[in-house]
Structure 1
Amino acid sequence: MHTTAHAPRTERIRSLPKAEVHAHLEGCFQPAVLAQWATEAGVPMPRPREHLLAFEGLADFLHFLDWACGLASTRERLAELSYGFSQRLAESGAGYADVIVNPTHWKAWHGRLPEMIDAIDAGFASAEQDGLPPVGLCVSLLRTQSSDAAAELVDALIALGHPRVVALSIDGNEAAAGRTSPRFAEAFRRAGAAGLRRTVHAGESSGPEGVRDAIELLGADRIDHGVRAIEDPALVALLAERRIPLGICPTSNLKLGVYASIDDHPIDRLRRAGVVVSINTDDPVLLGASLEGEYALCSDAFGWSDEDLRTLARHSIDASFANADVKAKLLERLSRW
């Protein structure tokens, strides 16, 4: 009975024109595909296949990403993964996505960034030709990298000038890395000056101070997660006043232990405080999340109206790094929903 009551609602949410602004390509591996690639490569699995996605927390999860990405060693595999991401977007009713890729995880591609971006672009371009939604690429630093490595990545992205690349990103475990934003300030400044947008993971494994650093030191156009800003009322006011959007991923926060339950999750409190929030999946396959499922989860928990859903969808489109044309088309579709 439970599912039939929710089916029409899920369909309506699926039909809601929206964008996704916080998803990692590394989080889109299907277990069956990984098992097959591991067998072909003669590489042992970290756990039996049926428990492959049973993570013990963020650190375990990040180790797993390195293992999975290590298997995507060919151009075909990267293109296939990217194409699959676009299919997933279309199935959730999204009309655009910014996807994060962190080159440090992909050891087969170390030292071959242009080739790696080209392979990913091939998958997304092929998907667009087949009528699937456009995707922008946010290339990410890891919190534990050096300022020299950050400068090198920014230099490479600027020299490459690839139209698929829309932003510089930074992710990783801040609880383990400590305060690192000062180290990356110069790289982010140069990326911004070169016309790249800036998106920063903060306020997940770090508290509100990480979010403040992302704004003040890294010039963040958008914050990935940012949920722990709720612990600092002055910071919440600043986010609302400057209209700096948060790319929030509720299921991810629950599965990786940031919050114990959806009722404890601050997304609705942030929204009511005037912060621009969007709903996203983070690592959809690995965490068992779908975009329509995230909207439904929050909508049920917080009693959101259709008007609330429309506002959240508009925030997701506005917060995206899509070009003006793509945004205008999506917003026009949203006005008719």
Structure 2
Amino acid sequence: MAVPTRAWCFELPKADVHVHLEGCIPVDLLEAAARAQGVDLPVLDESRGLDGLLEHLDASCRLLVDPGLVAELGSRFARRCTWDGIVTADVIFNPTHWPAWDGRLGEFVDALDRGMSDAEADGHPPVRLLPSVKRDQSAEAALALVDAMVALGHPRVVGLSIDGNEAAAGPTGERFRPAFERAAEAGFHRAVHAGESSGPDGVRDAIDLLMAERVDHGVRAVEDPALVAELAARGIPLDVCPTSNLTLGLYPILHSHPVDELRRAGVRVALGTDDPELLGGDLTHEYHSTAAAFGWDHGTVAEVARTSIEVSFAPDELKAELLAELDAFVARAAVEG
């Protein structure tokens, strides 16, 4: 059984539906922002795990106070997708990481939109935005974010996410249930981080209380066979980021990661990058390294890519176009050998 090459994985049309804007800031943009403010660049302390990562994101985002740099970040994100063989992306951003833009969600989104629109006009992939609640916020703050999204009515903002350290925050499903219900009523999609720093209970809260259409990470669902069976039966996808899980110490080596076990159990699995600029790697690497670790053939890798497009929050018409592009690539590659 032949494992796809990295070049094949790059050319494979795929979506990144688990990626954080905060973890996609190029170093040169951070350097420019730090010079303008006369401060040193923040340094990530990987020994502190998820807490260290979140603090580093706060420190990095605090530097981007200029709308021009935010627009450049939006443009660079879309262009980075092209360089990684990504055909569309749902990108998460958490307003709590961006204190300079507190109370100015519309201006922040407008700046990102300018950059992303410029990149898309140059032929780079379409990108959608998902503002995110942080788990240590109040129920009132989460509801305020949803109300701000509704009032903004920006076409690039398509859904609500939630992230943060579940282990530190404890169970938060009941607290944020009203916000996610309000988001659903307003027509927003829902993507919920769970099953990373929490166990299977976090995943169950995500699907039962927060009406998650996608679960970001979700890998610790594997610890509860009944939950795995439910995810498979209900077709609820997991957006899995193996490199991130390994870097943050969730699993020691890729061969011990449960992504393949979940896939073989019938769970819909997509691969994502999480924080690619910060943690290193790209989506092509995620596909190639995971395929190599578990012996995935071309058909299996293509099916994971298909899932990524199907579970994206792209409009149905765009999904159909991208799936046709995927099918054409697979057929062409099979003929070419």
Q: TM-score, normalised by structure 1?
A: 0.95
1:36: Cα distance to partner? 3.0
Question: Match of 1:42, as an amino acid?
Answer: G
Residue 301 of structure 2 corresponds to 309
Q: Which residue of 2 aligns with 1:21?
A: 17
Q: Given residue 125 of structure 1, which amino acid in structure 2 is its aligned partner?
A: S
Identity of aligned residues (%): 55
For structure 2, list consecutive stretches of 5 or more residues without a partner in the other structure.
330-337
**Letter matched to residue 150 of structure 1:** A
Distance apart, 1:54 and its partner CA: 4.7
Amino acid at match of 2:233: E
Q: Which residue of 2 aligns with 1:42?
A: 38
Taking the aligned partners of 1:32 and 1:161, their CA distance within structure 2 comes to 32
Q: Is the 8 A contact 1:53 1:287 kept in 2?
A: no
Write out aligned runs for 1:72-111 (5 A). Answer: 72-111=64-103
Aligned residue in 2 for 1:232:
224
Amino acid at match of 1:21: V
CA distance in structure 1 between the aligned counterparts of 2:260 and 2:171, rounded to whole angstroms: 28
Alignment of 1:218 with 2:207, yes or no, is: no
On the 8 A contact 2:45/2:52 being kept in 1, the answer is no
Quote the offset at 1:239 in angstroms.
0.5
SS across alignment from 1:71:
coil
Aligned equivalent of 1:9:
5
User: Is the counterpart of residue 67 in structure 1 residue 59 in structure 2?
Assistant: yes
Q: Which residue of 1 aligns with 2:280?
A: 288
Assess if the C-alpha contact under 8 Å between 1:199 and 1:220 holds in 2.
yes
What are the equivalent positions in structure 2 for 1:50-65 lying under 5 Å apart? 52=44, 54=46, 56-65=48-57
Which letter does structure 2 place at the counterpart of 1:177? A
Local SS of the residue matching 2:118: helix
- Report the counterpart of residue 106 of structure 2 in structure 1: 114
| 8 Å contact kept, 1:55–1:61 | no
Work out the CA distance in 2 between the residues paired with 1:91 and 1:32: 17
Q: Distance in 1 between matches of 2:267 and 2:71?
A: 36
The reply on whether 1:333 has 2:325 as its aligned counterpart is yes
Moved more, 210-219 or 152-161: 152-161
Q: Secondary structure at the match of 2:246?
A: helix
Q: Deviations over 1:201-221 (max 9, x none)?
A: 000011000000000000000
Task: Tell me how far apart the structure 2 counterparts of residues 280 and 18 of structure 1 sit (CA, whole Å).
Answer: 10
Structure 1 counterpart of 2:215, which letter? I
Paired with 1:90 and 1:53, the residues of 2 have a C-alpha distance of 30
Q: Structure 1, unaligned stretches of length 5 or more?
A: 1-5
What is the alpha-carbon root mean square deviation over aligned residues?
Answer: 1.3
Q: Which amino acid aligns with 1:166?
A: V
Shift of 1:150: 0.6
Query: Residue 332 of structure 2 corresponds to which residue in structure 1?
Result: none
